Structure 1
Amino acid sequence: MSTRLLVWGGGGHGRVVADVVRAAGERLAGYADADATRLGLPAEPGGGRVIASEAELEAALRSNAVLPGDADAVVPAVGDNARRLACLRAAGSRAAAALVHPSAVVSPSATLGPGTVVCPRAVVNAAAVVGGAVIVNTAAVVEHDCVLGDGVHVSPGAVLAGEVRVGEGGWIGAGAVVINRIRVGRAAIVGAGAVVIRDVPEGATVVGNPARVVRTRVL
């Protein structure tokens, strides 16, 4: 039996998640968005509408009330990693199970946390451990024995070779390659097209081939 899902975030990533919801055979209840002026407006051409403000959804979650749109569960779908992870934590036990597009390949020995979305043509290979509220975006590859913390985003076309570890909130840019056994620290950013051959400290941003640190945030 299909599940009725509320997408938390009415922006671009929310629309991508809505497509995965439908492709996976689930039902879209609608969207919740931070901008209350969007209530009742379509979040996507010809598709679902914004049926609740973020404040209304958070109030329903805190009081354990019926979710907007009589949804069964919530899918965190905000592009910003930290904010998406906060959505997952606010949803708690009412966060949706991981969603996998039917064109993606996920090994039966891999594990996916709640609120995670695996997009079209992505691959999650054997014994990979993927946390909650993770985005494995279009055609990304997460190879065998990788470990991804909560709130990670692996952007379109990025490749994580075997046994890579990415800390909570890490972001791997589009088309980047991280070679095997590398550690990418918490909240680190790997720029688009970078080739990472050395460990990346937490909070660091790396770019280039080979990737080099260009700035570091204090977390």
Structure 2
Amino acid sequence: MARTPFDPEAEFDRQVRTLTDLGYPALSGLGPERFAALVAPLRARATAAPVSLCEPGADGRVPFLLVVTRNVAPIEETMPRTTLHGGRLPGFVDRTFEPGALERFVATEETGLPAQDAYLLLEVERGEEFCGAVPHDAMNVIAGRGRTLLTIEEGIALITHFPQVLVKNKCFSLGGSRCGDRRVPALWISQKAPKLGWCWEGNPHTWLGMASAGTRAAGPA
């Protein structure tokens, strides 16, 4: 059976519906109309997304993600809105994040994060090729390729829109968010649910890769 051609407009609309169905308009305090207005300018950007060569998410790669920042939707509220593919248990933030820690894990200067509260992340890879690699080394390799590391919000967006990407032995670190020490946040599976935790930048794990993307695209200012 021939695969249905990838339709970026339809995919963008699906991602908007996903966030709406998960209660992001109420969570953000914007309400349905203002939330829709926030993300609407990105639809045109989505139409120019690279053509997907396979079913988006099937191999840990997706052409684009609709991301909203913690200014709109706090991490403590968005993580519990994630689940594993086919699962029911809500995602959670690991208790090893001490009080106030999440606020200190911010986007690094190298990410070039857009100023807007919503944007597109393009050409995303979960990075299982880096499973077993030292995170610090993986981040250097990715930088050498001219790619950008995912932030915490972007990682949550990835498993929110494509829960099938987070699977056993193919979990991933989010090196685009740091707090000034050796900790690197990561998403993996625990207690049959997604977990946001962290690992040391010098400690490799066979089941933990390093997620990256090609670039970010914002709508009109």
Higher relative contact order (CA closer than 8 Å, sequence separation 6+)? 2
Q: Which has the higher helix share?
A: 2
The normalised TM-score by structure 1 is: 0.25
Q: Which has the higher strand share?
A: 1
The normalised TM-score by structure 2 is: 0.24
Larger radius of gyration: 1
